A and B are shown apart, each in its own frame.
Chain A
């Protein structure tokens, strides 16, 4: 295992994100156990599973918000296990949150500029001296992200006054401003109606057509099945299936995890 890992790190990476035997324990509870999986370049990967399966914990492990108990994570061929979230974000892992975490007392533009700030960098001295170099780059990236998400008209609005659906796009815009290689979406369609969900699927597809890899957790099966190239299924912290949507829909372990076994029904 170690041999292959070190070889992977030095040659051109085959996968954008590679998780090997990743485990996370919280006290006596094992939230994620021996998870091995990958996300390829330009791929749209779905992560599904019953409530409490460890999907959000896995996202937190990938983005560095929680540290792994054991196992390794590689991003772009580099070992990133144990890196802080801000490091990972600057390397190109951008995320949205399950319960929207827009910055309510700031404008839409300022919200998105945080992502741009993360990737461009920040210095009190450049602000103090009124230098324009950093701020010009930040404002360019911010407008680009607003344009991609169609939020230009609402740029001056306070984020708290934005409708729920638009806030979802705001979070995506903020992540896009980071110029990510991998976009991680935690339940992007939750709380959206059918039309909005369809629009969102179309939008995510357009992002991945531009070369962005997307990984998402979602409970709306229709959304995941139609959007994703590949689906990983988790149950009780373990990966129980991995494959294209058609394969997953017919997978006996998946049906068991969601519907229970035939004996259970009796």
Chain B
């Protein structure tokens, strides 16, 4: 999967073949689908870092995606920042919120952590929805400038496509560096047995916070990409259902695997589009694919660990009366 030739082939496909084909077709609609795929691919890869590799079940990923999107939208519309400033700013804002939230919730164990992140995601969504003076509430923010550089290229389908591709490649590269190194071993050891990892000298809470911050950073970047490519955002884009969709991508692709997260995003964004002729029945098809994945591929398409085993571990920790409940 990770051999150099495969990577080169994927890059050529992504950077040359697909955009050339879509450009030749002049298919704005499919450019939009490709853009959505890349946004969710970044989200899935970043969620995979915290849930798949580090083993912390995060149910609030859409919240950080939303913080990124709103940071980019507001800095771009109010202060006219160009995209090359709004995108890192969106990542940093999401990471900063992530670190602040990690301080209290990172000591929670297993399912309690998951519930806390769920609450965080909902808090962010409700804040975006109701803080009307600041976020425009349910009306959302429109007129976000597209991705363009004066005198070099104009905003449009191709600019959006290549911005998405560039950010996706950068995300995959960074997350691959993080997970395929000794630092990645530290992250995986927390997934397998964090008490044992601590007995081996690892600063468990600090590593979890770092992983969470990086994960939030890339979620924020994805949000900025979404804001600039769709040019209109509203709180409805960042609901709990988006968090679950991202999690489903990670589980279908396989926990702990970057190619898995990419395939998961491709499948779960692409499938509803491909099945569109079947109308509303298509969601049954999507559900069926997810169900079959869990049933026949317990490790996802190319994962390191079984999702059910991880879930069972989290629930066990909550049910065992001998353990100190909730805190470690």
Give me the interface of A with B, judged by CB distance under 8 Å: 63, 65, 84-86, 89-90, 94-95, 97, 101, 103-106, 110, 113-119, 122-124, 126-130, 134-135, 138-139, 174-175, 178
Residue interface mask B172-204, A partner, CB < 8 A = 1? 001001100111111011011101111111111
Given contacts A105-B305, A127-B183, A128-B174, contact A122 B189 (CB under 8 A): no
Residues of B within 8 Å of A103, CB to CB, are 188-189, 192-193, 196
Can you name the residue of chain A whose Cβ is closest to the Cβ of B309?
Answer: A105
Q: How far, in Å, is B183 (CB) from chain A's closest CB?
A: 4
How far apart sit A171 and B323, CA to CA, in the bound complex (Å)?
23
Chain B residues closer than 8 Å to A126, beta-carbon distance: 183
The answer to whether residues A127 and B202 also contact, given A103-B196, A106-B189 and a CB cut-off of 8 A, is: no
* Smallest CB separation, B170 vs chain A (Å): 11
A118 touches B192 (CB 8 A): no
> Residue of A at shortest CB range from B189?
A114
Q: Which residues of A contact B191 (CB under 8 A)?
A: 105
Given contacts A114-B189, A117-B182, contact A130 B177 (CB under 8 A): yes
Question: Is there an interface contact between A114 and B198, defined as CB atoms closer than 8 Å?
Answer: no
Min CB gap B52→A, angstroms: 12
Residues A118 and B182 in contact, CB atoms below 8 Å apart: no
Contact indicator A85/B199 (Cβ below 8 Å): yes
Closest CB of chain A to B278's CB: distance in Å? 38
Interface SS, A side:
helix
Q: Is the CB of A114 within 8 A of B200?
A: yes
Chain B residues lying within 8 Å of A129, measured Cβ to Cβ, are: 177
Q: Can you pick out 14 interface pairs between chain A and chain B where the beta carbons lie within 8 Å of each other?
A: A86-B201, A95-B199, A105-B304, A113-B182, A114-B185, A114-B197, A115-B201, A117-B185, A118-B201, A122-B202, A122-B203, A124-B214, A127-B177, A135-B182
Contact of B178 among A65, A124, A135, A139 (CB under 8 A): A124
A86 to B200, CA, bound (A): 6
CB nearest to B175 among chain A residues: A128
Q: Give residues of chain B (199-234) contacting chain A, Cβ–Cβ below 8 Å.
A: 199-204, 207, 210-211, 214
Closest chain-B Cβ to A176's Cβ sits at a distance in Å of 11
Considering the complex, which residues of chain B in the window 291-324 have a beta carbon less than 8 Å from any beta carbon of chain A? Answer: 304-305
A131 smallest CB distance to B (angstroms): 10
B217 CB to nearest chain A CB (Å): 11
- Residue contact B305 to A101, C-beta cutoff 8 Å: no
Give the chain A neighbours of B182 by CB distance below 8 A: 113, 116-117, 122, 127, 134-135, 138-139
Q: A178 — nearest CB in chain B belongs to which residue?
A: B201
Q: What residues on B are CB-neighbors of A89 within 8 Å?
A: 198-201
Query: Do residues B184 and A105 form an inter-chain contact, with CB atoms below 8 A?
Result: no
Cβ contact within 8 Å between B183 and A105: no
Give CA–CA (A116, B202) in the complex, Å: 10
- The CA of A90 and the CA of B199, in the complex, are separated in Å by 9
CA distance A20 to B192 in the complex (A): 35
- In the assembled complex, the CB of A90 is this many whole angstroms from the nearest CB of chain B, namely 5
Q: In the complex, are the beta carbons of B201 and A127 less than 8 A apart?
A: no
Query: Is the CB–CB distance between A117 and B193 below 8 Å?
Result: no
The smallest beta-carbon distance between A240 and chain B, in angstroms, is 27
Give every chain B residue within 8 A of A175 (Cβ-Cβ): 200
Task: Output the least CB separation between A130 and chain B (Å).
Answer: 6
Write the nearest CB–CB distance from A44 to chain B, whole angstroms.
Answer: 21
With most chain A CB atoms within 10 A of its CB, the pick from B178, B191, B201 is: B201
Given contacts A90-B201, A122-B183, 9 further A-B contacts (CB under 8 A): A85-B199, A86-B201, A89-B199, A114-B202, A115-B200, A128-B177, A135-B182, A139-B182, A178-B201
**Given A65-B195, A113-B182, A127-B178, also A119-B188 (CB < 8 A):** no
Cα-based distance from A115 to B199 in the complex (angstroms): 9
B301 to chain A, nearest CB (A): 17
- Chain A residue contacts of B195, Cβ below 8 A: 65, 85, 101
A118: contacting residue among B188, B202, B305, CB under 8 A: B202
Q: Are A124 and B201 in contact (CB under 8 A)?
A: no
Residues of A within 8 A of B178 (CB): 124, 127-128
**What residues of A have a CB within 8 angstroms of the CB of B192 in the complex?**
103-106
Residues on B with beta carbons closer than 8 Å to the beta carbon of A84: 198
- Bound complex: CA A103 to CA B184 (Å): 14
B186 touches A114 (CB 8 A): yes
A94–B199 CA distance with the chains assembled, in angstroms: 7
Task: Tell me which of A63, A110, A178 contacts B188 (CB under 8 A).
Answer: A110
Which chain A positions have C-beta within 8 A of B214? Answer: 124
Measured CB to CB, the closest approach of chain A to B225, in angstroms, equals 20
Which residues of A are found within 8 Å of B174, using beta-carbon distances? 128
Question: Complex Cα distance A85/B193, Å?
Answer: 14
Cα A134 to Cα B181 with chains together (Å): 10
Residue of A63, A85, A114 with most chain B CB atoms under a 10 A cut-off:
A114
Is there contact, CB below 8 Å, between A117 and B188? no
The CA of A37 and the CA of B210, in the complex, are separated in Å by 40
Give Cα distance in the complex from A104 to B185, angstroms.
13
In-complex Cβ contact of A86 among B181, B183, B198, B305 (8 A): B198
How far does the alpha carbon of A47 sit from the alpha carbon of B260 in the complex, in Å? 48
Take A115-B201, A117-B182 as given contacts and tell me if A101 and B193 are in contact as well, using a CB distance cutoff of 8 Å: yes
